[in-house]
């Protein structure tokens, strides 16, 4: 339901992975704070933040101040919740659902998930499949067991030293994608047997 993009999407750069990880861990981050934490120039941080915003991975807000001074711009992860919902992520989820519905009309045998899981869950799987394909994965979704095989991981070798951070960021993004798609499915976690070359994400019904 998607074509892997050249350059590994918005998180092709480990600097962006690191920035997104910091934002996922603690909401309402500032450019100055992120620059200090990553040792990057503030202008570089701003460029990375724009890429993450354009991908729908984060949202921004302007600080409400009751004292003098320019209000800060605050960045949070797109979690799908009312105060942290990305219109870009919602639009991408709707587009994925529309493409999935067209595919199921043209190839009815691919629509068993609608009968078994329901429309909302099926549309969530459309959204997560699109996101993972765009991110450079070749996801294999098992609709019966609610698992996603992420083999091969595009970062398994090149950034093996940062595997824990990478996995955490990917899980955070996937949780946001499912939430923005609006349905009962959530990310439960990665199976304990995961290793750098074979990783399986377990979904569940909330």
* 169 pLDDT higher than 80: yes
Q: For residue 133, what is the domain's CATH number?
A: 1.10.10.10
Q: How does residue 158 score in pLDDT terms, banded at 50, 70 and 90?
A: low
The answer to whether residue 4 is domain-embedded is: no
The answer to whether residue 2 is domain-embedded is: no
pLDDT of residue 197: 67
* 136 pLDDT higher than 70: yes
Say if residue 6 is exposed, middle or buried (CB neighbours under 10 Å; 0-12, 13-18, 19+).
Answer: exposed
Distances (CA, A) of 90 to 82, 152, 168, 179, 191: 12, 27, 22, 9, 28
The answer to whether residue 1 is domain-embedded is: no
The answer to whether residue 94 is domain-embedded is: yes
User: Mean pLDDT across the chain, nearest whole number?
Assistant: 88
Q: What is the DSSP string of 13-79?
A: SHHHHHHHHHHHHSSSB-HHHHHHHHT--HHHHHHHHHHHHHHTSEEEEEPP-SSSSPPPEEEEE--
The answer to whether residue 81 is domain-embedded is: yes
Q: What is the pTM of this model?
A: 0.88
Residue scoring higher pLDDT (122 or 67): 122
Q: How does residue 193 score in pLDDT terms, banded at 50, 70 and 90?
A: low
As a whole number, mean pLDDT of residues 94-119 equals 90
Widest distance between CA atoms in the chain: 62
Give the total number of structural domains in the chain: 1
pLDDT tens-place string over residues 30-83 = 999 999 999 999 999 999 999 999 999 999 999 887 777 788 999 999 999 988
Taking the CA atoms of the chain, what radius of gyration do you get in angstroms?
18
Q: The domain containing residue 55 runs over which residues?
A: 9-205
The answer to whether residue 3 is domain-embedded is: no
Q: How does residue 7 score in pLDDT terms, banded at 50, 70 and 90?
A: very low
How far apart (Å, rounded) are the C-alpha atoms in residues 48 and 42? 10
* 178 pLDDT higher than 70: yes
* 93 pLDDT higher than 50: yes
As a whole number, mean pLDDT of residues 105-132 equals 90
pLDDT of residue 3: 38
The answer to whether residue 120 is domain-embedded is: yes
The answer to whether residue 104 is domain-embedded is: yes
Which of the residue ranges 68-77, 117-126, 196-205 has the most confident prediction, judged by mean pLDDT?
Answer: 117-126
């Amino acid at each position: 339901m998607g074509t892997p993009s050249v350059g590994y999407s918005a998180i092709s750069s480990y600097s962006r992975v690191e920035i997104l990880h910091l934002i996922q861990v603690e909401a309402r981050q500032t450019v100055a704070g992120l620059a200090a934490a990553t040792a990057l120039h503030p202008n570089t941080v701003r460029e990375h933040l724009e890429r993450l915003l354009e991908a729908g991975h984060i949202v921004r807000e302007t600080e409400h101040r009751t004292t003098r001074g320019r209000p800060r711009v605050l960045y949070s992860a797109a979690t799908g919740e009312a105060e942290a919902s990305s219109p870009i992520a919602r639009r991408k989820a709707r587009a994925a659902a529309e493409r999935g519905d067209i595919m199921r009309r043209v190839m009815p045998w691919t629509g068993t998930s609608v009968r078994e899981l329901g429309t909302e869950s099926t549309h969530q799987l459309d959204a997560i499949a699109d996101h993972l394909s765009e991110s450079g994965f070749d996801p294999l979704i098992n609709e019966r067991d609610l698992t996603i095989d992420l083999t091969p991981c595009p970062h398994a070798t090149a950034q093996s030293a940062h595997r824990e951070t990478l996995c955490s960021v990917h899980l955070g993004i996937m949780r946001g994608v499912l939430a923005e798609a609006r349905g009962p499915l959530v990310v439960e976690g990665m199976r304990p047997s995961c290793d750098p070359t074979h990783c399986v994400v377990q979904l569940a019904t909330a």
